[in-house]
A and B are shown apart, each in its own frame.
Chain A
Amino acid sequence: MKQRLFLALALAAVLAGCASGVKLDDVPVDDRAGTGAAVPGGGPGAGGQSQVQPVQADSAAANRAGPANVARIVFFDYDSYVIKPEFQSLIDAHARFLKANNGRRIVIEGHTDERGGREYNLALGQRRSEAVRRALGLLGVTDAQVEAVSFGKEKPAAPGSDETAWAQNRRAEISYR
């Protein structure tokens, strides 16, 4: 059953992938050699001690379909990871969808505004994604369906360095995989 569901999903994704460029494969977990173009005649060290071999990283799969007509972004106040009441209906809708489709998985991506250090913001963004994960868990969504990660301040939704932009960037995005 599980396998058949997976195949069906995989097929759907492949079909969707024709148009959207979505990739099924996760990034490989083991060693990866450089895929950058080799310098002609260049072996290790051939360019002297200053030589660096370039590598090209390919971006992995993006978003897939979730519940229709339901927003996917929860916004937060400055220095806060409390989910505000106006986002409860959004959380409820995703929880219903995930419980009805228990083969589906989501990744919750936490984000911060641009102020402060990159690593510390990564930890703060994680608190936001964990808050959404816990809220879904309280509504009965299983842990296996949900992964909470953070992008810190690396992927702002809005450019700019004012409160308007910052407010749009303090968020957690729900991404169906």
Chain B
Amino acid sequence: MNNTPSRMHVPKLKRRALVALAGAAAAAPALAQFRVEVTGVGLTQLPIAVAPFRGDAELQQKIGAIVQADLERSGRFRAIDGSAGAGLDETSRPDLSPWRQKTADSLAVGSATRLADGRFDVRFRLWDVVRGQSLMAEGFVVVAADLRLAAHRIADMIYEKLTGEKGVFSTRIAYVTKAATRYNLWVADADGENAQSALASSEPIISPAWSANGKQLAYVSFESRKPVVYVHDVATGNRRLIANFRGSNSAPAWAPDGRSLAVTLTRDGGSQIYTIAATGGEARRLTQSGSIDTEPLYTADGRSLYFVSDRGGSPQVYRMPSNGGEPQRVTFTGTYNISPSLSPDGRWLAYISRISGAFKLQVMELATGNVQSVTDTTADESPSFAPNGRLIIYATRQGGAEALMTTTLDGKIKARLPGRGGDIREPDWGPFQR
């Protein structure tokens, strides 16, 4: 038994995180709040207790609570009440037997300490309750604005330690809200918190799409009374109109190398798919049909494109070489299959299917063609995979209001991000942050 805490390893977040700016955190609107709603029971959930972090009482962002909610929402963990661990931190040598009695396999403890310069030193330790061993101990120094990020990184480390897979809690999502006649494009933490407006407009915004490096969003804006495609650097607010051709411009999808995008243009008559440089310029046509071809989506290797076409008489998902070529049909069940999203490993295709008049999120295992319906709602839209492929975020309607949900691929664990005073839609899950 090794109950002796090992020496703390304290890596720093990136250097620019060290510059304090008190105003930024206060100015960030707290638009929405995730509630974890476990609607099913996963078979192999790891029981974990997360104690309140020492210092949480003085913080608006309760580190322990954020870590626990992250782990729970992933569907891989079952939360054991950690409140009895108040007072513990990463330097403690806790008596683990009460935690064993609560059937916790793991216990996370930690602290957040304000430094003289206003930054915070955030540390944690993860205990293996069964073996009585310290599994890991880490820490960060962050500005107040990045306290949530620190909590998400801790959740990521715990997730990876215990599941062997990368966590997605420190990634970001984009989504759109509509309140009265105001539209906002938001960038938020993966739990929906810490939402910051990237774009406000009096006209609709749809189809946000993260670039592979997580720094830029492409989207469709109607601010010029027609749909045009912008590429927008979220940190600086600089943006560039990359597709403003005659007719409609929509459905941006980044190539994995970030140098070009696929878009849907109607400049030659119907909706067809083109490719265009991320800096703008001429568009090259990829599809040649008299039908609707839209909603392009690159595979991770950039060599293929999934898209939606009604060339067979009803909208279905197709796949073709990314520089053009003969498409192959991918969906065969039903007469309305749209909005494809691909898991990063290429194993799963999520899409929306119209079934008896209801619009339902479907998950297909591409190797077998097996399809599973994973929701009990009827107006699902816009699925997007988490970068580790374990969760899907999507828009739907619940209780008459628009809502964003996350679900595990088997549909058993869902979490809801309710809109506050408006509609909420068009989610896109960003990549892993470096």
Residues of A within 8 A of B (CB): 26-34, 36, 39-42, 44-62, 107, 109, 115-120, 122-124, 126-127, 130, 147-152, 154-155, 175
Q: Are B21 and A54 in contact (CB under 8 A)?
A: no
What chain B residues lie within 8 Å of A36 (beta carbons)? 197, 200, 237
B265, chain A: closest CB distance, angstroms: 10
Report which of B19, B145, B228, B359 forms a contact with A50, defined as CB distance below 8 A: B145
Contacts of B426 in A (CB 8 A): 118
**Contacts A54-B196, A54-B199; is A30 near B241 (CB within 8 Å)?**
yes
Give bound CA distance, A67 to B145, whole Å: 56
User: What chain A residues lie within 8 Å of B24 (beta carbons)?
Assistant: 39, 42, 46-48, 50-51
Contact digits for B289-320, partner A, Cβ 8 Å, 1 yes 0 no: 00010110000000000001000000100000
A-B contact pairs, 8 of them (CB 8 A): A30-B241, A48-B21, A48-B145, A49-B17, A56-B200, A57-B199, A120-B294, A149-B227
Chain B residues with CB below 8 A from A30, complex form: 240-241
Report A50 CB to chain B, min CB distance, Å. 6
Complex Cα–Cα for A120 and B335 (A) = 13
Say whether B200 contacts A51, CB under 8 Å: no
Asked if B204 contacts A120 (CB within 8 A), the reply is no
What distance in Å separates the Cβ of A90 from its nearest Cβ neighbour in chain B?
21
Please classify the interface of chain B as helix (H, G, I), strand (E, B), loop, or mixed, using the class held by over half of its residues.
mixed
Which residue of B is nearest A40, CB measured? B23
Interface centre among B197, B203, B237 (most CB of A within 10 A): B237
With A41-B21, A60-B223 in contact, is A49–B149 under 8 Å at CB? yes
Stretch at the interface among B108-116, B130-138, B245-253: B245-253
The winner among A36, A58, A59 for most chain B CB atoms within 10 A is A59
Mark B212-242 against chain A: 1 for CB-CB distance below 8 A, else 0.
0000000011111111100010111111110
* Count of B interface residues, CB-CB < 8 Å: 76
- A150 contact set on B, CB distance < 8 A: 227, 248, 266
Q: B294 is contacted by which of A42, A59, A122 (Cβ under 8 Å)? A: A122
Interface centre among A34, A47, A122, A152 (most CB of B within 10 A): A47
Instruction: Decide if B232 touches A118 in the complex (CB within 8 Å).
Output: no
A8 → chain B closest CB, angstroms: 23
CA distance A112 to B269 in the complex (A): 18
What is the CA–CA distance of A109 and B381 in the complex, to the nearest angstrom? 23
The listed residue with most A CB atoms (<10 A of its CB), out of B149, B203, B222, B294, is B222
Smallest CB separation, B225 vs chain A (Å): 5
Known contacts A45-B235, A54-B198: does B204 contact A123 (CB below 8 Å)? no
Q: Which residues of B contact A154 (CB under 8 A)?
A: 204, 206, 222
**How far apart are the CA atoms of A107 and B224 in the complex, in Å?**
12
CA of A117 to CA of B307, assembled, Å: 14
Mask for B187-209, Cβ within 8 A of A = 1, else 0?
Answer: 10100001011111111101100
C-alpha gap A29/B226 in the complex (Å):
13
Question: How many Å from the CB of B430 to the closest CB on chain A?
Answer: 12
A53 adjacent to B235 (CB under 8 Å): yes
Q: Are B238 and A34 in contact (CB under 8 A)?
A: yes
Instruction: Determine the chain A residues whose CB is within 8 A of the CB of B227 once the complex forms.
Output: 122, 149-152
Q: What separation, in Å, do the CA atoms of A174 and B227 have in the docked complex?
A: 16
Provide the bound-state CA to CA distance between A29 and B149, in Å.
36
- Nearest A-chain residue to B244, judged by Cβ: A29
Which B residues touch A122, using CB under 8 A?
Answer: 206, 220, 227, 248, 250-251, 264, 271, 294
Judge if B366 is at the interface, Cβ distance under 8 Å: no
The reply to whether B21 and A117 form a contact with Cβ atoms under 8 Å apart is no
Q: Which residues of B contact A148 (CB under 8 A)?
A: 247, 266
A117 partner, pick from B14, B142, B237, B382, beta carbons under 8 A: B382
Partner of A27, one of B14, B149, B241, B352: B241
Question: Which 3 pairs show the lowest CB-CB distances between chains A and B?
Answer: A34-B237, A47-B24, A53-B237
Flag if B308 contacts A47 (CB, 8 Å).
no
**Are A147 and B247 neighbours in the complex by a CB distance under 8 Å?**
yes
Q: Measured between alpha carbons, how far is A54 from B28 in the docked complex, in Å?
A: 10
Known A39-B24, A119-B295; contact A49-B222, beta-carbon cutoff 8 A = no
Nearest residue in A to B198 (C-beta to C-beta)? A52
Contact of A50 with B194 at beta-carbon distance under 8 Å, contacts A59-B223, A118-B426 already known: yes
Q: Collect the chain A residues with CB atoms within 8 Å of residue B270's CB.
A: 123, 126-127, 130
Q: Across the interface, do B222 and A33 meet the contact criterion of CB distance under 8 Å?
A: no
Q: How far is the CA of A81 from the CA of B187 in the complex (A)?
A: 37
Considering residues A57, A58, A115, which has the most beta carbons from chain B within 10 angstroms of its beta carbon? A57
Query: Is B88 in the interface zone, CB < 8 Å from A?
Result: no
